[in-house]
Chain A
Amino acid sequence: MFDFSIVTNWLNDALNGAMPSWLATTLECVIVAVALLLAYSLLAMFYIMYERWVCGWIQCRRGPIRVGPWGSLQIFADVFKILTKEIITLWHTDKFLFFLAPFLVVIASVMTFACLPWGKGMQVVDFNIGVFFIIAVSSIGVLGILLAGWSSNSKYTLIGAMRSGAQMISYELSVGISVLTMVCLAGTMSITGIVEAQADGWFLFKGHLPAIVAFIIYIVAANAENNRGPFDLPEAEHELTAGYHTEYSGIHYGLFYLAEYLNLFVVSGIAALLFLGGWMPLHISGWDGFNAVMDYIPSLVWFLGKAFFMTFVFMWIRWSFPRVRIDQMLALEWRYLMPMGLVNLVVMAVVVTNGWHF
């Protein structure tokens, strides 16, 4: 399997040979930033189209078909349209907080995005407390949403932001507990470590029943944390027009939209990382020929394939279930998911301590 660190090491040596090391480091940071920016915006555009295609398919419609082949150029038209719109700031808004909010939301999503393992040796930020860092940074997004709702000085945005805040902090617990369960199984918090621990079998298959329960809890909680699917109360169109970003216009609104779709990719990527083996190919012990063939598929394809599959699951849920009420949503988290998650954690700890996992 191709190791991308060969490329980065070669580039690192070439740059360090040609210029002083501080300049080389700066240049490398710039390369990383450009790569992140490109990947971020291209993926967001792809995801918006992906959602529209899946949505059309599930609802027996044709979806976007007019602009370009299968409507694939529609998104460029949308981006240009939204970029050329006027940015309106209202009276009586808190101007500073109003402009700060999109920054916080986008920063949270780019920083979590940078932690994902794209392939062998293809990971930007690799802390030894990787998943913990992801959970910590992703909660900055809640702050941005609350600020957006509060500073807009409109009742719809305020209600939307409050609902969103309550929902996101509640479901963050379940996400945290299911991540904790998987850390228990992996024995490490580093993302590279978690991926390497799955070389002989993905955690979903290795971890007995508790891993499967944690996977289901993670899917439900991640859906809610992204304000998607049956849990899209913060932007319930019939009640709140658009929720916390009602008063944002043009690209200001576009940035919230961008971060929302990238967060969808991030949660799918984390699901792929924790349960489906990150960039590890599918290996079945004993089937050596099959394993060798699987090793030929590049790790980038494996990771993106798993992430896109998980995204498909999230979209499937979103377009199949009706919206829940806020009391039902909070009851689901606090009375069912959270106690279930805690019991599941203890079961996983017992399984791991006694070595009963595969």
Chain B
Amino acid sequence: MDTSIFGIQSTTLAVTAALTAVVLVVGALVIAWLVGPRGYTKKKGEPYECGIPTRGDSMAQFHVGYYLFAILFLMFDVETVFLFPWATICRTLGNQALLAVGTFLVILVLGLAYAWKKGALRWK
């Protein structure tokens, strides 16, 4: 079994860590809420934009450039996930597996080269 400190299962401990984080945030917010001042003025609720009144809604459509990078990221991130199992045992798999992974990498790099040539990597 996959156990960690005290012989408890790692999954339980990971959940414990997440709950610890929740306790930390809630605790800090409750303390601040108890001891901090509370007051309401009309100006306080306005977003901070250099003191000038905000024009329009800020939850607006956004630059498409970020989207392209997100797509590229997805491609290479999935590739990294695929490579992890191979990397763990690449010592024993030998040259044949290396060749297969090399082919896989070349295909992916061709994709990157295509995106580069199309100008997707240039910030506009």
- Which residues of A pack against B, CB within 8 Å? 5, 8, 11-12, 25, 28-29, 32-33, 36-37, 40-41, 83-92, 94, 102-103, 106-107, 109-111, 113-114, 121-128, 132-133, 150, 152-158, 162, 165-166, 169-170, 172-173, 176-177, 180-181, 183-184, 187-189, 241, 246-247, 250-252, 254-255, 326-327, 330-331, 334-335, 338-339, 342, 345-346, 349-350, 352-353
Contact = CB atoms under 8 A, between A and B. Distances in A.
A11 B5 CA distance: 11
A281 B23 CA distance: 35
10 contacts: A29-B8, A86-B38, A87-B36, A106-B24, A106-B25, A153-B58, A158-B60, A166-B66, A187-B89, A189-B84
Contacts of B19: 33
Interface string B92-114: 01110010011001000100100
Contacts of A335: 116, 121
A36 B17 contact: yes
Contacts of B24: 37, 40-41, 106, 110
B13 A353 contact: no
Given A11-B6, A335-B116, A349-B98, A124 B17 contact: yes
Given A40-B24, A110-B20, A172-B77, A85 B88 contact: no
B83 A103 contact: no
A106 B90 contact: no
Given A84-B35, A170-B73, 8 more contacts: A40-B24, A84-B32, A169-B70, A173-B77, A251-B29, A255-B25, A334-B116, A350-B98
Nearest to A135: B80
Contacts of A187: 88-91
Given A86-B36, A127-B2, A33 B25 contact: no
A295 B57 CA distance: 62
Contacts of A346: 102, 105
Contacts of B20: 33, 36-37, 40, 110
Contact of A87 (B33, B70, B72, B95): B33
Contact of B46 (A90, A103, A132): A90
Nearest to B70: A169
B48 A247 contact: yes
Contacts of B65: 166
Contact of A326 (B3, B31, B123): B123
Nearest to B66: A166
Contact of A154 (B13, B44, B48): B48
Contacts of A111: 14, 17-18, 21
Given A255-B25, A331-B123, A349-B98, A338 B48 contact: no
A185 B62 CA distance: 42
Nearest to B10: A127
A51 to B, nearest CB: 20
Contacts of B4: 123-127
Given A102-B25, A103-B21, A251-B28, A342 B109 contact: yes
B12 A29 contact: yes
A330 B48 contact: no
B63 to A, nearest CB: 7
A251 B30 CA distance: 10
Contacts of B89: 187
B119 interface: no
A169 B75 CA distance: 12
B35 A184 contact: no
Given A162-B66, A338-B76, A86 B37 contact: yes
